[in-house]
């Protein structure tokens, strides 16, 4: 026996959440050709079928594009700190893909080694992730190459599996998930299905071995030739987490914010002296791969990539982790 | 202020107690904590850094260039080069600035005990050397002979000039000042030449010294062969590297050099450590 919920039941559940003041976010059509994870004002806005995956990731619900760290008031010589905004009470991210959900436990590590980041942790604790197992993949997907798959539970509180007639099998993974779906499911004899997933395309260990030994290598230059340094790869990546801290001055209410940043930008590493260790795009491309497959694993024991393929899919030049890693492994 | 202990990004407020113009574009600033309890409990290690901020403009990373023995204040020194330092250039006594820290590892002053100390610095690298020099002088019995070679492009670019004179008055301390060729004035009594060459000419005799060398990459590069000839191994040569930072607490990602976060495992590294890292600094 399994538990199931109808699509109408799911929308009802989400509608109740919204009515109770919980933030609900999920895939929704922003423009005719653009589907993103975004906050929903009504459960009817949730898009469950007919597309591969949103172009962004769910990281922005735990690590927003911009977040106020604290405000301040300037009065003559005097400064008064006015604190941060109230934490988000509770939020449900629904129809996340397994490759998005898996990013959260990976990000937990960077935001909690030594110094604990309360902004991230507050949002993370307040968030319930309801993941929809994948029923399709495209040529940019590579979750199976990084140890995940279309039904991977990592980072999810609940897994949903489509039955094929608008119903979903519900498999609760955590207490948070069980609490959300408690009393909302029915018994069923049907089992949901997930896609078999893409074939394995490369071995992350081979990528690490290469990047650890080829810091200076023409490979990086060749790969960066077409890169325009736009940072789209980082911004749509579920695991990229680099940020900047900037002041919004008097005209913007006097506050200090953290905002997303990317190792693909020239200013990212520019020293005050004018020296820049990564003066060109090859060094920046290398850093992105190095960080994902060597630096993060060295520090935190796992790679900084979930195989979602967003970097490749969204790159205006078609560069991405998949092509770089595959080429490295096949060399 | 809500939950002041939890927000790791929230700075302490510090009052500016003095500002000193060191050169045409370098100032040093002295600060004291507004919160008396924080002032009492604060401690740091020389070689650590802070994130200092001008409200309305932003944060910037500087070495805490005062000695950790000075309990009434901390000091930093900056060159006017960007948006935040332009704003800091205007600060005056009694203004309030933000401070987060101390961050990073600092100098292993305990490990250096019993050794002669050689400090080699170029230009704006004097502040991160200054804190260690004062610390060593204040714990004079713990350290052997102290040699300081400090150079800048021109006489007008030397910082903490009065303190160099003060250090030279101590026993077993040798201070050598130098300026790049062409940077001297008619009444210049110091050496003329680049720091590595001036250091080589000085023929410092020392057995098993600890060397702290901070300055432009070319200066460090040209110093290493000289130290090698003196028999100083890369494990005894320290530097402080200056990668761009934002958070200072190992999260924002920009100070990565190979496997290390400079803000956490640095900024103080031995040449032996530095040589094992990719050239990403």
Task: Give the containing element (helix H, strand E) for B53.
Answer: strand B49-54
Could B249 and A250 be called an inter-chain contact, meaning their C-beta atoms sit closer than 8 Å? Answer: no
pLDDT band at residue B2 under the 50/70/90 scheme: very low
Flag whether pLDDT at B242 surpasses 90.
no
Do A248 and A254 form a contact (C-beta atoms < 8 A)? yes
Contact B216 A273 (CB under 8 A): yes
DSSP 3-state of A307 = coil
The fold of B12-103 is Elongation Factor Tu (Ef-tu); domain 3 (2.40.30)
pLDDT (0 to 100) of residue A331 = 75
CB atoms within 10 A of CB A199: 10
Nearest CB partner across the interface for B10, out of A81, A115, A298:
A81
Smallest CA–CA separation between B10 and chain A, in Å? 7
SS3 A325: helix
Is residue B34 less than 8 Å (CB to CB) from chain A? no
Give the architecture (CATH level 2) of B117-240: 3-Layer(aba) Sandwich (3.40)
End-to-end CA distance of chain B: 37
Touching check for B9 and chain A: CB below 8 Å? yes
E-assigned strand segments in chain A = 2-6, 23-31, 34-39, 66-75, 78-83, 91-96, 127-132, 158-162, 167-172, 186-188, 243-248, 255-260
Task: Supply the mean pLDDT for chain B.
Answer: 95
Q: Do B278 and A215 touch (CB under 8 A)?
A: yes
For the beta carbon of residue B39, count every other beta carbon within 10 angstroms: 16
Considering only residues 107 to 146 of chain B, which have any Cβ-Cβ distance to chain A shorter than 8 Å? none
| CB contact (8 A) between residue B253 and residue A241 | yes
Q: Express each pLDDT in B62-109 by its tens digit.
A: 999 999 999 999 999 999 999 999 999 999 999 999 999 999 999 999
Nearest residue in A to B218, CA atom: A275
DSSP secondary structure letter of residue A295 = I
Tokens of A326: 């595959």
pLDDT tens figures, A71-98? 999 988 899 999 899 998 899 999 999 9
User: Is A245–B59 a contact, with Cβ atoms under 8 angstroms apart?
Assistant: yes
Question: At residue B4, does pLDDT exceed 70?
Answer: no
**Which token pair is A33?**
């050709």
Yes or no, beta carbons of B59 and A256 under 8 Å apart: yes
In chain A, where are the structural domains located? 2-330
* Residue-level pLDDT at B46: 98
Q: Whole-model pTM?
A: 0.94
**pLDDT of chain A along its 331 residues, tens only?**
899 999 999 999 999 999 999 999 999 999 999 999 999 999 999 999 999 999 999 999 999 999 999 999 998 889 999 989 999 889 999 999 999 999 999 999 999 998 999 999 999 999 999 999 999 999 999 999 999 999 999 999 999 999 878 899 999 999 999 999 999 999 998 888 899 999 999 999 999 999 999 999 999 999 899 999 999 999 999 999 999 999 997 777 899 999 999 999 999 999 888 889 999 999 999 999 999 999 999 999 999 999 999 999 999 998 999 999 999 998 7
Strand order across the beta sheet in which B191-192 lies: B191-192, B173-179, B146-152, B117-122, B210-214, B237-240, B268-270
What SS3 class is residue A270?
coil
Residue of B235, B171, B180, B232 whose CA lies nearest to B205: B232
Chain A residues whose CB is inside 8 A of the B280 CB are: 215, 277-278, 283, 287
Residue B108, token pair as written in the block = 């292993």
Concatenate the DSSP letters of all residues of A151-175 into one string: T--TT-SEEEEE-SSSEEEEEE-SH
* Residue in B closest to A87 by C-alpha: B2
Contacts of B246 in chain A (CB under 8 A): 243-245, 261
What pLDDT is recorded for position A303? 97
Chain B nearest-CA distance from A96, in A, is: 25
Q: Please say whether the beta carbons of A70 and B7 come within 8 A.
A: yes
- Give the three-class secondary structure for A91: strand
Which has more pLDDT, B208 or B2? B208
Buried residues in A266-283 as b, exposed as e (16+ CB within 10 A): eebbbebeeeebbeebbb
Q: How far apart are CA A4 and CA A162, in angstroms?
A: 10
Residue A243, helix vs strand vs coil: strand
Nearest one of B165, B172, B137, B139 to B150, comparing CA atoms: B165
CB contact under 8 A, A269 and B243: yes
Give the closest of B8, B56, B253 to A74, CB-based. Answer: B56
Cβ partners under 8 Å of residue A147, min gap 6: A204
Domain spans, chain B: 12-103, 117-240
Q: Around Cβ B274, how many Cβ atoms within 10 Å?
A: 18
CA dist., res. A100 & res. B206, Å (int): 59
Q: Say if residues A283 and A223 touch (Cβ distance below 8 Å).
A: no
| Proportion of chain B above pLDDT 90, given as a percent | 92
Nearest CA in chain A to B94: A77
| The pLDDT of residue A138 | 97
Among B126, B152, B12, CA closest to B63: B126
A287 chain-B contacts, CB cut-off 8 A: 256, 280
pLDDT tens per residue across span A269-303? 998 888 899 999 999 999 999 999 999 999 999 99
- pLDDT-based confidence at residue B274 (cuts at 50, 70, 90): very high
The answer to whether the Cβ–Cβ distance between A241 and B256 falls below 8 Å is no
Query: What pLDDT is recorded for position B3?
Result: 41
The predicted structure's pLDDT at residue B1: 34
What residues does A73 pair with on adjacent strands?
A: A80
Distance CA B125, CA A236 (A): 39
Closest by Cα among A197, A14, A210 to A93 = A14
B36 touches chain A (CB under 8 A): no
Q: Which ipTM score applies to this complex?
A: 0.92
CB contact at 8 A, B73 and B30: yes
* Residue of B3, B7, B9, B265 to mutate, interface with A, max A Cβ within 10 Å: B9
Nearest CA distance, A220 vs chain B (angstrom): 14
Which positions 222-281 of B are in contact with A (Cβ < 8 Å)?
242-244, 246-247, 249-254, 256-259, 261, 264, 278-281
Chain-chain contact of A244 with B98 (C-beta, under 8 angstroms):
no
Hey, are the CB atoms on A278 and B280 less than 8 Å from each other?
A: yes
């Amino acid at each position: 026996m399994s538990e199931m919920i109808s699509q109408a039941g799911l929308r009802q559940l989400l509608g109740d959440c919204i009515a109770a003041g919980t933030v609900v976010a999920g895939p929704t059509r922003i423009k005719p050709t653009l589907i993103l994870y975004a906050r929903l004002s009504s459960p009817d806005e949730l898009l469950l079928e007919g597309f591969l995956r949103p172009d962004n990731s769910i990281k922005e619900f735990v690590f927003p594009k911009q977040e106020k760290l604290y405000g301040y008031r300037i009065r003559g010589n005097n400064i008064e700190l006015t604190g941060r905004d109230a934490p988000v009470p509770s939020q449900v991210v629904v129809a996340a893909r397994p490759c998005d959900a898996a990013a959260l436990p990976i990000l937990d590590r960077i935001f909690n080694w030594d110094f604990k980041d309360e902004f991230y942790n507050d949002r993370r604790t307040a968030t319930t992730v309801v993941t929809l197992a994948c029923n399709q993949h495209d040529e940019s997907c590579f979750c199976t190459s990084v140890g995940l798959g279309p039904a991977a539970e990592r980072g999810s509180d609940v897994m949903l599996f489509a039955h094929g007639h608008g119903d979903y099998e519900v498999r609760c993974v955590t207490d948070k998930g069980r609490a959300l779906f408690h009393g909302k499911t029915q018994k069923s004899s049907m089992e949901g299905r997930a896609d078999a997933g893409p074939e394995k395309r490369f071995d992350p260990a081979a990528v690490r071995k290469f990047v650890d030994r080829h810091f200076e290598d023409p490979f990086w230059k060749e790969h960066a030739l077409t890169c325009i340094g736009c940072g789209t790869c980082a911004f749509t990546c579920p695991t990229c987490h680099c940020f900047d801290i900037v002041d919004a001055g008097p005209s913007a209410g006097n506050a200090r914010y953290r905002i997303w940043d990317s190792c693909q930008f020239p200013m990212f590493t520019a020293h005050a002296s004018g020296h820049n260790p990564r003066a060109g795009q090859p060094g920046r491309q290398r850093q992105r791969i190095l960080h994902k497959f060597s630096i993060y694993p060295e520090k935190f024991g796992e790679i900084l990539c979930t195989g979602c393929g967003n970097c490749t899919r969204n790159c205006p030049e078609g560069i991405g982790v998949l092509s770089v890693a595959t080429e490295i492994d096949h060399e | 202020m809500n939950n002041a202990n939890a927000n790791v990004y929230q700075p302490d407020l510090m009052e500016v107690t003095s500002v000193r113009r060191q050169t045409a574009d370098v100032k040093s600033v002295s600060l004291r904590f507004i919160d008396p309890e924080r002032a009492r409990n604060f401690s740091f290690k020389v070689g650590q850094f802070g994130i200092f901020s001008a409200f309305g403009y932003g944060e910037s990373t500087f070495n805490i260039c005062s000695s950790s023995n000075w309990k009434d204040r901390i000091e930093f020194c900056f060159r006017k080069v960007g948006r935040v330092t332009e704003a800091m250039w205007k600060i005056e006594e009694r203004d309030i600035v933000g401070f987060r820290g101390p961050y990073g590892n600092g100098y292993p002053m305990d490990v250096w005990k019993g050794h002669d100390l050689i400090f080699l610095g170029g230009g704006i690298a004097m502040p991160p050397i200054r804190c260690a020099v004062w610390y060593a002088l204040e714990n004079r019995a713990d350290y052997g002979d102290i040699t300081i070679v400090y150079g800048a492009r021109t006489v007008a670019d030397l910082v903490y000039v009065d303190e160099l004179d003060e250090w030279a008055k101590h026993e077993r301390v040798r201070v050598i000042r130098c300026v790049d060729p062409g940077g001297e004035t008619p009444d210049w009594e110091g050496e003329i030449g680049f720091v590595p060459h001036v250091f080589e000419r000085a023929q410092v005799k020392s057995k098993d010294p600890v060397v702290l060398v901070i300055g432009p990459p070319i200066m460090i590069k040209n110093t290493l062969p000289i130290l090698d000839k003196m028999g100083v191994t890369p494990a005894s040569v320290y530097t402080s590297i200056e990668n761009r930072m934002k958070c200072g607490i190992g999260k924002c990602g920009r100070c990565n050099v190979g496997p290390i976060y400079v803000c956490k495992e640095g900024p103080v590294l031995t040449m032996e450590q530095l040589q094992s890292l990719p050239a990403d600094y």
